[in-house]
Structure formats: C-alpha cells, structure tokens
C-alpha cells in the first residue's frame, strides 16, 4: 500500500509537470497478496440471509432498509456506494431498469435490472418516497445512509451466519458486504451466462476482471472426472 501511494504521488507530479524524472517506484518489486475472495453465497444461504435481515428490520423498525439493500445488492451486483446512491428517479419499474452510478469507474452510469425478488418490495417502498429521495433509507425518510451505518448493522449478521471460526485475515473465505456482488456474478456463471454478459452486468472495465468466474462454468471437466470415478 505504501509503495502504491508513493508511486501515485510521483505519477501525479509527472502528470502536472512538477517532476521531470522517472517514477522511482516503477521498478520496485510488488508483493503478491493472495486475497481474492472465493467464497460466495449459495441459494439456500441467500434465503437464510433474507430471513435474518427481514427479522432485523422488523425488530429495529428500520423500514426494510437492510432487506432492500441486500436484495438490490444480490440482484444487481452493484457496488455498495452505487446502491446507496440509487434514488427513486433512477428506477423504472415498468421497464425493470435501475440507473446505477459506478464510482470506481469515475461516476459512470450503467443499467441494472429489477428482478422478481425485489420488485414487489420496491413497488411498495417507492410509493412512500419523493422523486429525489434515496431508495435505501431508514423508515422511508429518503435520506442517504453512509456505508459505515450500513456496515454497523449488516456486518454482525454476516459474521454470525457465515464467519464463525474464521480468522479475520482469511479474506478468501469470509463473507463481507462486497461478497454480495461476488455472489451475483458467481450465480450467473453457474447458470452458464456468458462471461461477456457477466462483464457487462458487473460493469467491469476489463474482461480479465470477469474471467475468474469462468472456472464456475467448467461443467465438462467436472463431468469427465465424475464419469471416470
């Protein structure tokens, strides 16, 4: 992280013509960190999560805030900040299209889609909101909530359901909020949706980001092994 920050500072200096030499971090060897998330939720685990967030919302009178977030995350694959920025005006329930902002790609806008999982809940919820209100909000007040407030409520539920006994450093197997996006792509791959289409739905800039899901589509290799043994 320090090396990357160091390199970024020099790149900025070069770009702004404040520095005229070579970036000294260019040839510094980077450490390889094997922290790619591999764990995703299976369908039975998703239903379990839905049940828990609905229960949490009812007990705490949150107005379906966690249920809305989780269902939108799992059915659009959008990043957390993108979901928290969705306003009523961004939703077209007649065409089943959601306008999503991808802040990781400089505020680029792309389309997500409304599924049967969330449509009924959204129809009921949007009636209580004004045109410019944020969809994921406490008690339908239309105010944007912070990632920190969401994390404070959702993380304990994810930990209790899926992370018991895991080391904090075990990034591959821990379920976190970002795992909902990973689950979206993984289930599409298992359903044999093309990698190119998954790239589009995830709004990945480079298809190499999406290729890690291809291994979930390799049914022929799995069947070959099972047939032999």
Q: Which domains does the chain have, with CATH numbers?
A: 1-31 (no CATH), 43-217 (1.10.443.10)
Q: What is the pLDDT of residues 158-203, one digit of tens each?
A: 999 999 999 888 888 999 999 999 999 999 999 989 999 999 999 9
- How sure is the predictor about 34, in pLDDT bands with cuts at 50, 70 and 90? low
Q: What is the mean pLDDT of residues 125-147?
A: 94
Q: Are 101 and 107 in contact (CB under 8 A)?
A: yes
Q: Are 142 and 129 in contact (CB under 8 A)?
A: yes
Q: What is the mean pLDDT of residues 102-118?
A: 94
| CA atoms of 144 and 149, how far apart (whole Å) | 10
Q: What is the pLDDT of residues 56-109, one digit of tens each?
A: 999 998 889 999 999 999 999 999 999 999 999 999 999 999 999 999 999 999
Q: What is the pLDDT of residues 211-225, one digit of tens each?
A: 989 888 877 777 778
State the average pLDDT for the chain. Answer: 92
Q: What is the mean pLDDT of residues 202-207?
A: 94
Q: Which of 169, 197, 228, 164 is nearest to 77 (CA)?
A: 197
Q: Return the pLDDT at 33.
A: 56
| CA atoms of 193 and 55, how far apart (whole Å) | 33
Task: Evaluate if residue 129 carries a pLDDT over 80.
Answer: yes
Task: Evaluate if residue 4 carries a pLDDT over 90.
Answer: no
Q: Return the pLDDT at 150.
A: 96
Q: Are 213 and 195 in contact (CB under 8 A)?
A: yes
Q: Are 87 and 132 in contact (CB under 8 A)?
A: yes
Q: Which of 217, 185, 149 is nearest to 73 (CA)?
A: 185
Q: Are 23 and 10 in contact (CB under 8 A)?
A: yes
DSSP 54: H
Q: Are strands 97-102 and 91-92 parallel, antiparallel or unpaired?
A: antiparallel
- Residue 109's CB is within 10 A of a number of other CB atoms, namely 12
Task: Evaluate if residue 228 carries a pLDDT over 90.
Answer: no
Residue with token string 């957390």: 80
Q: Are 136 and 76 in contact (CB under 8 A)?
A: no
| CA atoms of 77 and 184, how far apart (whole Å) | 5
């Amino acid at each position: 992280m320090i090396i990357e920050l160091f390199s970024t500072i020099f790149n900025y200096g070069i770009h702004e013509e404040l520095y005229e030499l070579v970036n000294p971090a260019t040839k510094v060897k980077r450490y390889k960190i094997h922290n790619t998330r591999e764990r995703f939720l299976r369908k039975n685990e998703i239903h379990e999560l839905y049940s828990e967030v609905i229960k949490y919302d009812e007990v705490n009178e949150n107005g379906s805030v966690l249920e809305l977030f989780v269902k939108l995350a799992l059915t659009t694959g959008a990043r957390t900040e993108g979901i928290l920025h969705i306003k009523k005006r961004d939703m077209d329930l007649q065409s089943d299209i959601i306008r999503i902002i991808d802040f990781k790609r400089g505020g680029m806008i792309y389309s997500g889609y409304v599924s049967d999982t969330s449509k009924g809940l959204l129809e009921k919820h949007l009636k209580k909101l004004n045109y410019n209100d944020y969809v994921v909000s406490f008690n339908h007040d239309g105010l944007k909530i912070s990632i920190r407030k969401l994390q404070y409520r959702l993380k304990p539920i994810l930990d209790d359901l899926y992370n018991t006994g895991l080391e904090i450093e075990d990034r591959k197997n821990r379920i976190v909020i970002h795992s909902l996006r990973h689950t979206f792509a993984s289930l599409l791959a298992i359903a044999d949706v093309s990698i190119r289409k998954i790239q589009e739905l995830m709004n990945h800039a480079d298809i190499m980001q999406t290729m890690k899901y291809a291994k979930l589509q390799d049914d022929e290799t799995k069947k070959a092994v099972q047939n032999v043994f």
